[in-house]
Chain A
């Protein structure tokens, strides 16, 4: 038997973004169903057993699972309904502008969920070895850092005893510390860029405190092993290529990859939502709405954030915008944002004048002091002085644009 149900809002993903967005729509008396494929809420937070979460949102320092529990309570108290152990197989766009979601669940069987709006809060997947076409054999013991984190923290098993980490993304850094705490050895973290990819605090707390060497500007030249990983070789970069005269070999029984995250937009990409080639997330406006009317994105599925607190803030904004949109009171954002000098991207892509907008950027430079300017044509509309700018940290500003059709943001070191 197929169950057919209807809710105003379907939230896909019960991680931080889904819980905060769903709390807003439910609080506004819109019937809200938050769907997650796992049997519990919280998503990836559940495997992040370290602390450092919640300082902005809950004004206290929490672990990942604690943050998830607080966020679940928030959504529950607002009246959101959870549909866990449930996978969205497909989204169908109806002729009247509403949607039908095909839901599969071991608990609930097959359900068709009709809704007026969808908030996609599906997070990211990890870029992996295959995506990077890293050379070498195909032995056991090669994992993405998040998978290893899940195995260790959720399943209580060890991915390796001597583990080389490729990439200095935050998950890799946190895993270096976690593995050291378990008694495993981490001979090196290898980063292709001339600077670390993760947060400064994680370099200090996860590598320096444990005397784990970070090899910058090094690339993996080989992963070797017949049945199981035996060693990894890397070499420094010279004019963009591996300098094979200086190959370093590390004996190891596992290799973890922490080489970036990619938004999980598959469900809406197949519907034709426009995807930003830089963020790999959807193109959205200041309501968080994608190029498909009625489908919104929040959190890491939109662009990759550094802190869960920022995900939560952005998702709350999106939740509020969905409420306005469904009541017909939302502004129509038709002005364009352009990421100029020293900015990799700017979010949102479109904005409305006269409302306070939260703009978010990813810089491409490191600078102790920098100035961010917003230009409309030749005219500087506003500017912000920033300290300690680096690509590992997102820049966020709140600002009310007036009378402009286009804003060009530029970042300069001063």
Chain B
């Protein structure tokens, strides 16, 4: 098989490129080093559809961000991922902040966002009951909101796959060689190569390493880590809008986010680190985030924290996205430095990548056959008793509840496994199981049993996130007991 395009990396950038290509007469491959898609930068971020005002007019990221914002409602209809167009509020708490806030507002207008609304303090408090005292002004970006980033990512890949894109998981790219008009891509642990006429480098934190492996441009991706903390669904701090402070250098600041899943997220920090795989959280940052968001929102309590995580932004020195054809090697497109607002901009980023391929001489006509849709998803948590009753008539798994905190049924877990999410993290990101208060305390063992049954993987071989992340150390009776002869 010779592919027209091989995309390296299945985060939102690669997934969006694959999804756009799946609309065209084009044979594409999506190559991922992890066991599931979006397990890198795309799984651990704030999940925000931004408002288009944070970045300067001259930047590529501002252009692609603004081009994408208004597409989310339509994408949601097609791809069925949770999206809450709740709007974004930026609030200033001092005269100095108000000045910066005004500049931000003007920047948004200059970027072409047509519905930003400047708000007096009175208006802010009218819009947002949870805003802490002391705000003196700010603005509202009504098209912004929150998405469930993994659901969005999964849906893009599922739709791309249904419409002809081949997906390769557990496939770390080792090397790319251009011979006779084709890229020959070696995969670690495999003797067969993937051959493609063109390559898209959407490798997130590792885009610099991939570029080097293909002899393309030299650049350095610096991980800038952000820690986030999740508050229980019962937290009284959950605002109606995404709340931003007035930003500081290199970061949009610590925000309060009413997630699409119903929890409240606070964060992120912004810290330059050396290790790209560092996903640790620290006590100091936790305390800092709590004290910062308390100044912005009422009702924040460390007691409501249900979990924490961290993710790293892939940052280039320019701070902008670098999406361009290589000037050094043929048919190679960089999509690097896709940090915030990478999720927001992803619809236009994918499209932009396709346009660059076309610019380099490829011709991909639109498909004439009708597109195969992905099925709408049912959620036991949000279904009525009548709906659940008719679902039960077809399949009793729908009324067998597994995750008590998030009300996830066995049917949803089985569906995740059928769609290829065969790790605990994959099931978690697909279904939201174990994301609630008990963090899997009650349901982890049940989910493992269902996963094992549905996938035919023995319990001892199940993993948290692929590779060697085995959940268990073996069976009872495997170990020699001291003082007893076996």
Known: A104-B409, A131-B305. 9 other contacts (CB 8 A): A109-B393, A128-B440, A131-B439, A141-B471, A146-B441, A157-B474, A183-B481, A224-B280, A228-B468
A107 to B399, CA, bound (A): 8
- Total A residues in contact with B, Cβ cutoff 8 Å: 59
Query: Which of chain B's residues have a CB closer than 8 A to the CB of A262?
Result: 437
Most buried by B among A1, A37, A130: A130
**Stretch from B118-126, B131-139, B367-375, B442-450 that touches the partner:** B442-450
Within B66-109, which residues are at the interface with A (CB < 8 Å)? none
B388 touches A (CB below 8 Å):
yes
Q: Quick one: CB contact mask for B463-486 with A, threshold 8 Å, 1 for yes? A: 111011111111111111110000
Q: Is the CB of A126 within 8 A of B474?
A: no
A222 to B475, CA, bound (A): 28
Within B279-315, which residues are at the interface with A (CB < 8 Å)? 279-283, 286, 302, 305-309
A102 to B397, CA, bound (A): 17
A sample of 7 inter-chain contacts (CB < 8 A) reads A102-B385, A104-B388, A138-B309, A140-B424, A140-B471, A152-B476, A161-B474
Q: Is the CB of B388 within 8 A of A126?
A: no
A160 touches B (CB below 8 Å):
yes
Q: Contacting A125 at CB < 8 Å: which of B442, B463, B478?
A: B442
Q: Quick one: CB contact mask for A98-137 with B, threshold 8 Å, 1 for yes? A: 0000101111011010000000000001101111010111
Q: Is the CB of A104 within 8 A of B401?
A: yes
A203 touches B (CB below 8 Å):
no
A397 touches B (CB below 8 Å):
no
Query: Which of chain A's residues have a CB closer than 8 A to the CB of B437?
Result: 125, 131, 262, 266
A128 to B305, CA, bound (A): 11
Closest to A107 in B: B396
A184 touches B (CB below 8 Å):
yes
A107 to B410, CA, bound (A): 13
Query: Which of chain B's residues have a CB closer than 8 A to the CB of A105?
Result: 399-400
B460 touches A (CB below 8 Å):
yes
Query: Which of chain A's residues have a CB closer than 8 A to the CB of B389?
Result: 1-2, 109-110
Q: Is the CB of A106 within 8 A of B400?
A: yes
Q: Is the CB of B467 within 8 A of A227?
A: yes
Q: Is the CB of B280 within 8 A of A222?
A: yes
Within A1-42, which residues are at the interface with B (CB < 8 Å)? 1-2, 37
Q: Is the CB of A125 within 8 A of B472?
A: no
A150 touches B (CB below 8 Å):
yes
Query: Which of chain B's residues have a CB closer than 8 A to the CB of A269?
Result: 234
Q: Quick one: CB contact mask for A32-57 with B, threshold 8 Å, 1 for yes? A: 00000100000000000000000000
Q: Is the CB of B473 within 8 A of A130?
A: no
User: What 5 A-B pairs come out closest when comparing CB atoms?
Assistant: A130-B307, A183-B479, A106-B400, A140-B464, A87-B401
Within B371-402, which residues are at the interface with A (CB < 8 Å)? 380, 385-386, 388-389, 392-393, 396-397, 399-401
Q: Is the CB of A156 within 8 A of B475?
A: yes
A135 to B324, CA, bound (A): 39
Given A135-B281, A151-B472, A227-B469: A183 in contact with B482 (beta carbons within 8 A):
yes
A413 touches B (CB below 8 Å):
no
Query: Which of chain A's residues have a CB closer than 8 A to the CB of B472?
Result: 151, 157-159
Q: Is the CB of B465 within 8 A of A140?
A: yes
Closest to A102 in B: B385
Query: Which of chain B's residues have a CB closer than 8 A to the CB of A181?
Result: 481
Q: Give the size category of B's interface with A.
A: 35 or more
Q: Contacting B476 at CB < 8 Å: which of A137, A143, A156, A222?
A: A156
Give B34 Cβ to nearest chain A Cβ, in Å: 11
Closest to A221 in B: B283
A269 to B475, CA, bound (A): 40
B161 touches A (CB below 8 Å):
no
Q: Quick one: CB contact mask for A239-271 with B, threshold 8 Å, 1 for yes? A: 000000000000001100000001000100110
A154 touches B (CB below 8 Å):
yes
Query: Which of chain B's residues have a CB closer than 8 A to the CB of A136?
Result: 280-281
Q: Is the CB of A158 within 8 A of B473?
A: yes
A143 to B444, CA, bound (A): 9
Q: Contacting A135 at CB < 8 Å: which of B280, B392, B410?
A: B280
A288 to B89, CA, bound (A): 45
Closest to B467 in A: A227
Q: Is the CB of B476 within 8 A of A147?
A: no
Q: Is the CB of B441 within 8 A of A128?
A: yes
Closest to A183 in B: B479
Query: Which of chain B's residues have a CB closer than 8 A to the CB of A161?
Result: 473-474, 479
Given A140-B471, A144-B441, A151-B472: A104 in contact with B399 (beta carbons within 8 A):
yes
Q: Is the CB of A128 within 8 A of B438?
A: yes
Query: Which of chain B's residues have a CB closer than 8 A to the CB of A104?
Result: 380, 388, 399-401, 409
Q: Contacting A126 at CB < 8 Å: which of B438, B465, B479?
A: B438
A333 touches B (CB below 8 Å):
no
A2 to B391, CA, bound (A): 12
Closest to B309 in A: A138
Given A37-B404, A139-B464, A184-B479: A155 in contact with B445 (beta carbons within 8 A):
yes
Q: Contacting B385 at CB < 8 Å: which of A112, A125, A128, A158?
A: A112
Q: Quick one: CB contact mask for A339-353 with B, threshold 8 Å, 1 for yes? A: 000000000000000
Closest to B401 in A: A87
Q: Is the CB of B468 within 8 A of A227?
A: yes
Q: Contacting B396 at CB < 8 Å: which of A106, A112, A135?
A: A106
Give A142 Cβ to nearest chain B Cβ, in Å: 9
B235 touches A (CB below 8 Å):
no
B229 touches A (CB below 8 Å):
yes
A181 to B476, CA, bound (A): 10
Query: Which of chain B's residues have a CB closer than 8 A to the CB of A266?
Result: 234, 405, 437
A228 to B305, CA, bound (A): 24
A125 to B439, CA, bound (A): 10
Closest to A160 in B: B473
Within A293-334, which residues are at the interface with B (CB < 8 Å)? none
B277 touches A (CB below 8 Å):
yes
Query: Which of chain A's residues have a CB closer than 8 A to the CB of B186?
Result: none
B455 touches A (CB below 8 Å):
no
A226 touches B (CB below 8 Å):
yes
A398 touches B (CB below 8 Å):
no
A66 touches B (CB below 8 Å):
no
Q: Quick one: CB contact mask for B409-435 with A, threshold 8 Å, 1 for yes? A: 110000000000000100000000000
Within A156-176, which residues are at the interface with B (CB < 8 Å)? 156-161
A89 touches B (CB below 8 Å):
yes
Within A218-244, which residues are at the interface with B (CB < 8 Å)? 222, 224, 226-228
